[in-house]
């Protein structure tokens, strides 16, 4: 008789684990019908996300308040949820000029889990708590788990709450087991997946939409946009350097050569050049106005007009 203890198994009760009657014959239909079935299920996601927008708005407002006070945002997820989190956090850096680490993503199993699944890491409460060791009272902790019960996320949420952080659970299960571990639960009711349990489908899409909404709305509130233009983007490649000029020309209606000169005069600072052009002020005055306005272009322009 073997002395080895067999691995434990758990039957997860969550909508994402249920069989979807609409796709019961998905393996017996032509390819185009497979795609129609998948697309029909995907089409349910925006409404499910729409239902949690009022609660998401509260999360955005609290996140902005904490970021302004010097806090950070931490995403925690396992598997697909962790990969969605890493993608959202990473893209904020070039898109909005956000310093690395202000929004940090933690994935169960570490960075290697981005490309090679480390499925057992999801079951570690201690792993989530360890990854949350850097969380502080002024921070925001966002746990992502499709089923709403991943032990890794449980560990992170509990550690975040113990540190005094603001805690948020993002799931695809309105009755998530971890809901009471978070200050706010954003449970998008996406229903059974097209392939039972394959949460890389609707649940992941909902998580991406929620995180995109959270981070983008927060960046807008913090002044990283003017109108619907990115004015803090980092021009780190040829395409983005061209986009900087495009933003200036679209925002001001002025010729490209005028915008290029203003950008050069502003030492390459897009926001400074924008305030110079729209407010008809010198770069130093534009910088002072932006500093006084906490980086908000509209407020800086209003202040410049009064001086």
Catalytic positions: 91, 122
Q: How far apart are CA 305 and CA 276, in angstroms?
A: 11
Helices (H), the chain: 31-42, 45-50, 53-68, 80-96, 125-131, 151-163, 202-221, 238-252, 256-265, 270-279, 283-292, 297-306
Q: Is residue 242 packed enough to be buried (19+ CB in 10 Å), middle (13-18) or exposed (0-12)? A: exposed
Report the chain's terminal Cα–Cα distance, integer Å: 87
Burial of 88 from C-beta contacts in 10 A (0-12 / 13-18 / 19+): buried
Decide: 183 and 168 in contact? Cβ < 8 Å: yes
The pairing of strands 103-107 and 166-171 is unpaired
Helix (H, G, I), strand (E, B) or coil at 76: strand
Helix (H) or strand (E) holding 77: strand 73-77
Residue 211 in tokens: 């995180």
């Amino acid at each position: 008789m073997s002395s080895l203890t067999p691995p434990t198994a758990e039957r997860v009760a969550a909508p994402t684990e249920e069989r979807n009657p609409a796709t019961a014959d998905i393996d017996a239909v032509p390819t185009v019908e497979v795609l129609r079935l998948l697309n029909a299920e995907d089409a349910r996601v925006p409404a499910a996300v729409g239902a949690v927008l009022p609660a998401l708005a509260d999360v955005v407002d609290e996140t902005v308040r904490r970021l302004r006070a010097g806090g950070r945002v931490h995403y925690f997820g396992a598997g697909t949820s962790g990969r969605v989190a890493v993608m959202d956090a990473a893209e904020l850096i070039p898109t909005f000029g956000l310093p690395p680490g202000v929004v940090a993503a933690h994935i169960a199993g570490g960075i290697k889990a981005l490309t090679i699944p480390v499925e057992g890491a999801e079951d570690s409460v201690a792993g989530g708590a360890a990854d949350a060791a850097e969380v502080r009272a002024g921070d925001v902790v966002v746990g992502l788990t499709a089923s709403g019960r991943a032990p890794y996320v449980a560990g992170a949420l509990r550690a975040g709450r113990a540190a005094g952080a603001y805690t948020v659970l993002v799931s695809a299960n309105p009755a998530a087991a971890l809901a009471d571990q978070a200050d706010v639960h954003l449970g998008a009711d996406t229903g059974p997946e097209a392939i039972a349990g394959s949460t890389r489908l609707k649940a992941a899409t909902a998580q991406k939409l929620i995180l995109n909404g959270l981070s983008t709305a927060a960046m807008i509130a913090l002044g990283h946009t003017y109108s619907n233009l990115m004015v803090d983007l980092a021009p780190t490649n040829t395409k983005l350097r061209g986009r900087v000029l495009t933003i200036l020309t679209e925002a001001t209606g002025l010729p490209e050569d005028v915008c290029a000169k203003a950008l050069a005069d502003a030492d390459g600072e897009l926001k400074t050049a924008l305030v110079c052009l729209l407010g008809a002020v010198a770069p130093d005055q534009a910088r002072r106005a932006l500093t006084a306005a906490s980086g908000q272009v509209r407020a800086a322009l209003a202040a410049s007009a009064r001086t």
